[in-house]
A = this chain, B = another copy of it.
């Protein structure tokens, strides 16, 4: 287990060094892709959503056991849990707890946003503590990082930043997302020198300075999609001390050579995330003949190791590799 009181960016960097790996695994439970043998029979439950809950918990535990010693963090995507209502959220809670017990950092991908007054509720709930009826405060989720959306401007982000300070947590602000239509708003020029995502990037840089850890990186990071290398190169300069959370490697088409621009010259500054191509690797065309459905954890481990080796090899080619 890691020390929660240090700057979470330091914790993340130390974990990256310990695992010699800047790659994180997304935990996106999709019932249709979970091997049949893991699925619980809903007849054994009062409420069929409880069977889904236990299926997800079991699947995630097996994945976490298979990868905990090689990755610094996991990134559960909240959509795939809350999709199943409160029982799905219970599976999320159990997953966070299990991952933390295994010494993993938890990056919650939830892309939350609202006006300031409401964002405070999200920030307290996900990153901080909430008041109970007995007058005490308790953690609801207690994740280490969460992703947040900037469309409402700075007053919708500030309570997240304040929670990061108060609880030694971190956020990744969506700057340039990995999806095909991300440019429809994010790339729009608002002046000769600046587009929408630049405004967000400057905000991230400015508020992030105050939350910089001893290793030079801030608890206020940015989501920068692996699928847009030119933008990544530019954004790396705008936000030199922000950690980038880089989705889009694997299933979404991002390649190691593209991702390299998300790193600084020192070989740090980014965590690369992949979900489907790791956790459902047993179903991948190139893995199918080598792993049976029952061996999905081994397939996930194999895929995670290949991703690590691919990224670190490319990192070695282009950047000064960290002191691993």
Contact = CB atoms under 8 A, between A and B. Distances in A.
A283 B118 CA distance: 19
A114 B189 contact: no
A4 B49 CA distance: 23
A247 B115 CA distance: 11
Contacts of A255: none
Interface in A85-122: 85-90, 92-93, 109, 111-116, 118-119, 121-122
Contact of A113 (B43, B92, B113, B125): B113
Contacts of A190: 188-190, 196
Contacts of A124: 83
Interface stretch (A129-137, A237-245, A299-307): A129-137
A186 interface: yes
Interface string A222-244: 00000000000000000000000
A48 B138 contact: yes
Interface in A241-261: 247, 252
B118 A80 contact: yes
Interface in A67-93: 77, 79-80, 82-90, 92-93
Interface residues on A, range: 35 or more
B130 A156 contact: no
B186 A121 contact: no
B188 A125 contact: no
With most chain B CB atoms within 10 A of its CB, the pick from A90, A174, A178, A196 is A196
Contact of A93 (B48, B85, B154, B252): B85
Contact of A115 (B92, B131, B179): B179
A189 B52 CA distance: 47
B125 A79 contact: yes
Given A154-B184, A179-B153, A196-B185, A125 B48 contact: no
12 contacts: A51-B133, A77-B114, A80-B118, A82-B122, A83-B140, A85-B89, A111-B112, A115-B178, A116-B179, A153-B185, A155-B179, A185-B200
